[in-house]
């Protein structure tokens, strides 16, 4: 069975915690751009379907539906459900989870449909090649949600230090999202218990923030999605606990520009332009990763296309399309192990995994990142050292390249 889609930004076609975009039914393509926009649908990367029964309370040991808008009745902190004899792949273990954080509705102008009971009701188009074209108004709203997600991700990255818990990072993400007038999209999506995903070391995706302190040398992916004015902005980035000096050589190869992840990611980003096939993104990613001795995850996908070589019909790119690129790269086997919380997915062999993500807008002359770095963003060491693309990446369109050059002249000089 083919994998189905997960989280976060703009849905390209059929499908992420990790793509989101405003969603229309097949019959609404070519709708009047002056009409009211259709509400964005959130989706988190999905694994292949399992035969085991699902429960409503993922992350808290089962139970019925919960709400992100009212105070939780459970006693906290709690440990997520886990079999006593469960064989974990690496060193990461489930930690205690604090109470579900509440979203004050008087500070948010639009709440996603799943916030109150965990059930998303907005459905994707029937066929993956049915792709909506955003109106100018929709694009501007997506720019705003993308910038909001970028500001939250930058803040979360600055908090990554030895001794800081991922639960503390989640608190900061929750509070800044609300301060910006946005709903933290992962919260209560199918009852996901937190406001962001924090995936440490061997965790591929959907790591639930908890009370485990980060340790020097850990690598952590923070996946942020913000729902602002009816639109989701989605991005993620890797961070090294303790900085560049704390990262071993294999870890550098996994995420560094000259080697595996960033290099294949930027190559895939540069491929995006009107007329190209969405399915070809996967080949660009997998071919480069395999050549460098790494693997790309095939059991999780989202955003309407696959992150590995394939011949699936996913449509052609066109100006006005929005989607995300979010490859998951592993230093060993790409096979996954799903924890009993039914969210956390780790590599089966305990090897580390890495991912980066942008929400993208296809323009008539290329592509631009709606979640690109801004004037206050920190620059990672691999962005300074890259031989493939020096500095931050904002896109290939003329306007994006102009903004990128100006931003890099400022950020790289500091």
Q: Give the residue ranges of the annotated binding site for substrate.
A: 206
Annotated binding site: 206, 223, 234, 303, 326, 357
Quick one: 274 exposed, middle or buried, by C-beta within 10 A (0-12, 13-18, 19+)? middle
Q: Are the C-beta atoms of 220 and 348 separated by less than 8 Å?
A: no
Nearest to 196 by CA among 231, 163, 233, 161: 233
CA 394 to chain centre: 17
Q: What is the DSSP string of 8-59?
A: SS---S------EEE---GGGTT--TTSPPPPEEE-EEB-S--SSPP-S-TT
CB 11 within 8 A of CB 25: no
User: How far apart (Å, rounded) are the C-alpha atoms in residues 235 and 151?
Assistant: 10
Contact 273, 367 (CB under 8 A): yes
Strand order in the sheet with 358-363: 322-325, 358-363, 366-369
Burial of 196 (0-12, 13-18, 19+ CB in 10 A): buried
138 is written with which tokens?
Answer: 């929709």
| Residues 394, 369: Cα–Cα separation, whole Å | 5
Q: Which tokens in the block code for residue 177?
A: 């999202």
The DSSP call for residue 324 is: E
Binding-site residue positions for a divalent metal cation: 223, 234, 303, 326, 357
**What is the C-alpha to C-alpha distance for residues 266 and 389, in angstroms, rounded to an integer?**
8
> Going by C-beta distance under 8 Å and a sequence separation of 6 or more, which residues neighbour residue 272?
281, 317, 325, 360, 362, 366, 367, 396
| Alpha-helix runs per DSSP H in 180-292 | 249-255, 261-271, 280-291
């Amino acid at each position: 069975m083919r994998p189905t889609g997960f989280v976060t930004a703009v849905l390209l076609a059929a499908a992420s915690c990790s793509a989101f975009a405003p969603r229309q039914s097949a019959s609404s393509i070519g709708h009047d751009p002056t009409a009211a926009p259709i509400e964005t649908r959130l989706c988190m990367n999905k694994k292949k379907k399992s035969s085991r029964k699902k429960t409503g309370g993922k992350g808290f040991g089962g139970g019925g539906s919960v709400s992100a808008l009212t105070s939780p009745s459970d006693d906290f902190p709690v440990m997520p459900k886990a079999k006593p004899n469960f064989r974990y792949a690496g060193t990461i273990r489930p930690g205690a989870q604090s109470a579900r954080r509440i979203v004050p509705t008087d500070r948010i102008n639009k709440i996603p449909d799943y916030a109150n009971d965990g059930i998303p009701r907005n459905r994707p188009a029937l066929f993956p090649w049915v792709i909506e074209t955003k109106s100018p108004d929709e694009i501007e709203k997506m720019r705003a949600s993308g910038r909001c997600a970028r500001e939250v991700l930058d803040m979360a990255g600055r908090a990554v230090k030895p001794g800081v818990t991922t639960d503390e990072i989640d608190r900061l993400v929750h509070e800044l999202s609300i301060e910006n007038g946005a709903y933290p999209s992962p919260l209560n999506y199918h009852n996901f218990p937190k406001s962001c995903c924090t995936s440490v070391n061997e965790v591929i995706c959907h790591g639930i923030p908890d009370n485990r302190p980060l340790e020097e040398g850990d690598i952590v992916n923070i996946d942020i999605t913000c729902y602002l004015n009816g639109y989701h902005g989605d991005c993620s980035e890797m961070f090294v606990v303790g900085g560049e000096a704390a990262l071993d050589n294999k870890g550098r190869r996994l995420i560094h520009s000259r080697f595996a992840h960033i290099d294949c990611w930027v190559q895939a980003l540069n491929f995006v332009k009107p007329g190209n096939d969405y399915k070809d993104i996967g080949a660009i990613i997998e071919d480069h990763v395999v050549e460098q001795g790494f693997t790309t995850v095939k059991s999780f996908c989202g955003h309407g296309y696959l992150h590995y070589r394939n011949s699936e019909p996913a449509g052609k790119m066109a100006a006005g399309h929005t989607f995300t690129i979010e490859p998951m790269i592993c230093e060993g086997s790409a096979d996954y192990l799903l924890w009993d919380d039914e969210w956390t997915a780790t590599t089966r062999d305990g090897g580390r995994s890495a991912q980066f993500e942008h929400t993208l807008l296809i323009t008539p002359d290329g592509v631009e990142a709606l979640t690109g770095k801004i004037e206050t963003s920190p620059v990672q060491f691999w962005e300074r050292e890259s031989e493939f693309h020096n500095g931050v990446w904002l896109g290939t369109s003329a306007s994006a390249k102009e903004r990128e050059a100006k931003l890099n002249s400022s950020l790289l000089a500091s």
